[in-house]
Amino acid sequence: MAKKKEEYIEEKEKPLSLEETFARIEEVIGHLETEEITLEESFAEYNRGMTLLARCNETIDRVEKKVLKINEDGGLDEF
């Protein structure tokens, strides 16, 4: 069930929603939990998961900054 290199490249370049990114992380975890995975595939999946987590963090950071900007401009309270 290993992904092709082209699919990984597309995944890195294609913008994903936060929900899509979480779903991909779940896929990675599921694949890592299988007994059939090779050590090489484990390293590739680990790297894929770390890349996806970094994307999640970036997305969340952007949203937090937008909320803070709205708070400054609109006088809304932080939550």
- Would you state the pLDDT for residue 5? 54
- The rounded Cα 50 to chain-centroid distance in angstroms is 8
Instruction: Note the pLDDT tens digit of each residue in 13-51.
Output: 678 889 999 999 999 999 999 999 999 999 999 999 999
Stated pTM of the model: 0.68
- Would you state the pLDDT for residue 1? 46
CB 68 within 8 A of CB 51: no
- Would you state the pLDDT for residue 76? 60
Cβ count within 10 A of residue 48: 21
Cα-based distances in Å from 76 to 3, 65, 67, 70, 72: 45, 14, 9, 7, 7
3-state secondary structure at position 22: helix
**Percent of the chain at pLDDT exceeding 90:** 52
